[in-house]
Amino acid sequence: MQPQPEHSVTQLLANWNKALPHIRAALKYCGDTHTPAHVWAMIRTGAASLYTSENSAVVTQVLDMPNGKQLHYWLAGGDLKELKQLEKTITANAKAQGIKKVSLIGRAGWVKELPGFNDAGRVLIKEIK
């Protein structure tokens, strides 16, 4: 992936700062696999993409699978209505890029909130102490 163009860094950083509380909360739900600094570095280099609205944020990744690229909704948080609208926009953008499949790992409640997504499994996390 290519780094973000320099002229967009200021706007990207402003969006990141607005999204940061949602990103932190989402990271807690996924087991703190990354720090916010890791996520920012991935966004900055183009390994992940950040989408924001007034009170919501989504981070996606494009995964290269053997049968084609897949858009993965990695982190999301904020206002449910806004998240649903972001999902439509992000999925439409993915379709325009020729991506034919999207995925997410999330809590069971997302299945009823996101029409068209099927429950294909869950990720369970256990801390080893």
Is 99 domain-assigned?
yes
Question: Each residue's pLDDT tens digit in the chain (129 positions)?
Answer: 444 444 488 899 999 999 999 999 999 988 889 999 999 999 999 999 999 999 999 999 999 999 999 999 999 999 999 999 999 999 999 999 999 999 988 777 888 888 888 888 777 767 668
Q: What are 45's two structure tokens?
A: 């280099």
Query: How high is the pLDDT of residue 127?
Result: 65
Is 28 domain-assigned?
yes
- Element (DSSP H or E) covering residue 74: strand 68-78
Q: What is the pTM of this model?
A: 0.85
Is 60 domain-assigned?
yes
Is 73 domain-assigned?
yes
Query: How high is the pLDDT of residue 1?
Result: 43
Is 123 domain-assigned?
no
Is 119 domain-assigned?
no
Is 122 domain-assigned?
no
Reduced DSSP (H G I as helix, E B as strand, rest coil) percent helix, strand, coil of the chain, to 5: 45, 25, 35
Is 127 domain-assigned?
no
CA distance linking residue 48 with residue 62, whole number of Å: 7
Q: What is the SS3 assignment for 11? A: helix
**Residue 50 is part of which domain span?**
6-113
Number of independent structural domains in the chain: 1
The bridge status of strand 56-65 relative to strand 49-53 is antiparallel
CATH of the domain at 84: 3.40.630.30
CA distance linking residue 52 with residue 99, whole number of Å: 21
